[in-house]
Structure 1
Amino acid sequence: MAEVQLELEITDQEANKENSTEQTNGINHMRGSRSKNYRWWLRIVLYTIFLLCGQSVATILGRLYFDKGGSSKWLATLAQLGGFPILIPCYSIFLRKSSIANNIIDSNPPSFLKLLTLVYVPLGLLVAGSSFLYSVGLQYLPVSTVTLITASQLAFNALFSYFLNSQKFTPCIINSLVLLIISSVLLVANNHTEKPAGVSKGQYAAGFICTIGGAAVYGLALASQQLAFRKLLKRETFKVILDVIVFQSLVASCTIAVGLFASGDWKGLKREMEGYALGKISYVMTVVWTAISWQVFAIGTVGLIFEVSSLYSIAIGTVGLPIVPVLAVFVFHDKMDGIKGMSLVLAIWGFISYVYQHYLDHQKSKIENRIATEISEDCTLGEVIHSDNRA
């Protein structure tokens, strides 16, 4: 009888130890999950800052280039794409750190030739085409008109995302898209200038058509990037983001460089630099910092596509459109009025609406995970009780 009682006490102690271990593992899992969520939100914030700052600074510098005597649309396009070499040191670091992890995560990754053919070259050509069309629009159209047309990339991206990525549209997302588009439309309602001096009606029409085409191609490029992440790239590492940026920028830069030399536009760059209103050094620094700013923008854009979706990334980019006229007040001494302020408020409102939808999705995911965990624990407890009853 004493032996039986001793065995029962030992069994109870073992059960208590198992329960304590399960509780500890559960607490550690919850802590790990919370830490993972915080890291995810931190990445979203950093990518958003990169996108907004890079886009705003690059747009201001691009306008400065044309305002002070620059006229080469090929060089302006190359400045948008050719700054990727500054990412190579960072790329090398992540390449070394992730080489072992990638082999563990994906034992059969796609070959480089396959990625080059199906991902990097098509994306590079799309980005090159979009950047060139925007440069043409910026050369022949007022900035506010370009801003309006640029906002249409939201609609184009939503359309392409619907077919390529099965994008769902909730009331919050629709509300956000409408507000973001209206915020840019108001900028044109505030435009009291006619077509720029020296621009013919044909050039004005060409700029209008090219800017619409640039918005459509850019929307397609971002939707295609998201599709590539889902279907081919798959690995969740920052190296993948750098791969997309570096290789698509390399393809796009080579394409624009061919256009620059084939058109003979490169012959006038020396004369353009000498006649630049701010001087030769300022000319070089304007082009260089434009290239760097666009690479910061590229990191933020591709990072948000990777973490969330192309539609979210492009919505954040649209938030930055009204920021440019506000910065122009200080840089170019443009007039600031109520319409521009209202446009900025609507853009922020649309951004909050979009972020709120992702907050709802996040909360829904947490509830579903908690329910799944409780069901799993109940099943485990039931198996333990059933096993004890059989014993």
Structure 2
Amino acid sequence: MNTQELELQSRVENQRPDSPRETSLHSSPNGPKLPNYRWWLRVIIYILFLLTGQSAATLLGRLYYDKGGNSKWMATFVQSAGFPILLPLLCFFPSSTKLTTNPVHSTTSSATKIPKLSTLTLLYLAFGLLLTGDNMMYSYGLLYLPVSTYSLLCATQLAFNAFFSFFLNSQKFTPFILNSLVLVTMSASLLAINADSENNTNNIPKRKYVTGFLCTLGASATYSLYLSLVQLSFQKVIKSETFSTVLNMQIYPSFFATCGCVVGLFASGEWKGLESEMKEYKQGRVSYIMTLLWTAVTWQISSVGLLGLIFEVSSLFSNVISTLALPLVPILAVIFFHDKMDGVKVMAMLLAIWGFLSYIYQNYRDVSESKAK
């Protein structure tokens, strides 16, 4: 085959839809100079999954405790037990379905080795146990702390994640990223301080308050570590460009976390009180079951969005979007629970949106610089 034929074949392959050239910022040198629209579409979908899922799950979790629920292990169980609803997606997105990676954060190569089954099993088991402990600490925090204090402490996961991302994921900090972190953290803090002024009637024993405080702080740090380790696993261990890897990273750790919750539920003896808890639930048995069921479903939707953003962008970005949901919960509470809306809550929402746009703009600049190079 002569040189002209080789050149012609190369051009044809580069123009195929399934060619690796699809990961570039534009399909040809003379094409429109726009970011990869498929990548942006996936990022937007993952953001919607994360925001809607986390907001709904938080409201349902609050509803469970407010209406008579008291089992900490059950509240932990539903955070991971909904993973079976993701199993049908593995049929639609087999391991051969490749994703278009982010041109800025992509670290995968065309020649990657499939990890050993034993390696993946240990990885999923470790993440499952980590999630079990993290979810339990969050359950204790939500039970023993006022919502305002709980939200304020949850916002600290941004700082923890920035710390872990710097050492584990080589995350670079720019003025726009720092601006985003400060604004989103200020938004959650402002919301929490305002909630403190509205709820001064919480009589919580000091011992339980300290327990809830330490558990929530520890859960924020553990969750941030989990996000950074997941991103590191995608880059160094799994090294795959398929949507099924995102699903597997949610399904299998959730399976091990659910098994751990079942063991804890029976070992603690809380399973004996579930029947009476269901009978005494203020809105009845059906409402009790539906609250737990939809809490499990919405947590899975949130987790898929979270892992998708880690895969496509970074753990720090996914944490920024996760923190953005904190001021969204009071807005939804106004709609569904008729809570009072005031100027402080509106300001918190505007700060969160400003911080979100600041991070998006930095990502746009990174894409533009990569395209120029």
Structure 1 portions without partners, runs of 5+: 1-13, 369-391
Distance 1:28-1:293 versus aligned 2 partners, 3 A rule = closer
Partner of 1:364: 369
From 111, 133, 152, the counterpart of 1:148: 152
- In the TM superposition, what whole-angstrom CA distance separates every residue of 1:35-70 from its partner, at most 9, and x where no partner exists? 980000000000000000000000000000000000
**Counterpart Cα distance in 2 of 1:97 and 1:171:** 39
Contact kept? 2:112, 2:239, Cα under 8 Å: no
Number of residue pairs matched? 346
Amino acid aligned to 2:146: P
From 206, 212, 217, the counterpart of 1:207: 212
Structure with bigger gyration radius:
1
Contact kept? 1:83, 1:292, Cα under 8 Å: yes
Matched, 1:42 2:45: no
**Counterpart Cα distance in 1 of 2:42 and 2:27:** 22
Amino acid aligned to 2:80: L
- In the TM superposition, what whole-angstrom CA distance separates every residue of 1:196-251 from its partner, at most 9, and x where no partner exists? 34x31111111111100110000000000011011001111100001100011011
Q: Which has the higher helix share?
A: 1
Q: After the TM superposition, which residues 305-384 of structure 1 pair with which residues of structure 2 at under 5 Å, given as runs?
A: 305-368=310-373
Root-mean-square deviation (Å):
2.5
From 171, 177, 192, the counterpart of 1:173: 177
Distance 1:31-1:135 versus aligned 2 partners, 3 A rule = farther
**Counterpart Cα distance in 1 of 2:31 and 2:245:** 24
Distance 1:276-1:235 versus aligned 2 partners, 3 A rule = same
- In the TM superposition, what whole-angstrom CA distance separates every residue of 1:11-32 from its partner, at most 9, and x where no partner exists? xxx99xx89x979978963588
Distance 1:106-1:51 versus aligned 2 partners, 3 A rule = same
Partner of 1:298: 303
Contact kept? 2:82, 2:297, Cα under 8 Å: yes
How far does residue 123 in structure 1 lie from its aligned partner after superposition?
1.4
Contact kept? 2:95, 2:245, Cα under 8 Å: no
Matched, 1:194 2:193: no
Partner of 2:19: none
Contact kept? 1:47, 1:303, Cα under 8 Å: yes
- In the TM superposition, what whole-angstrom CA distance separates every residue of 1:130-157 from its partner, at most 9, and x where no partner exists? 1111110110111111111101000001
How far does residue 189 in structure 1 lie from its aligned partner after superposition?
1.6
Amino acid aligned to 1:74: W
Give identity over the alignment, percent: 51
SS state at 1:81 partner: coil
Distance 1:361-1:36 versus aligned 2 partners, 3 A rule = closer
SS state at 1:203 partner: helix
SS state at 2:94 partner: helix
**Counterpart Cα distance in 2 of 1:173 and 1:351:** 9
- In the TM superposition, what whole-angstrom CA distance separates every residue of 1:298-347 from its partner, at most 9, and x where no partner exists? 00000000000000000000111000011112222221111111001000
Matched, 1:277 2:282: yes
TM-score after normalising by structure 1: 0.83
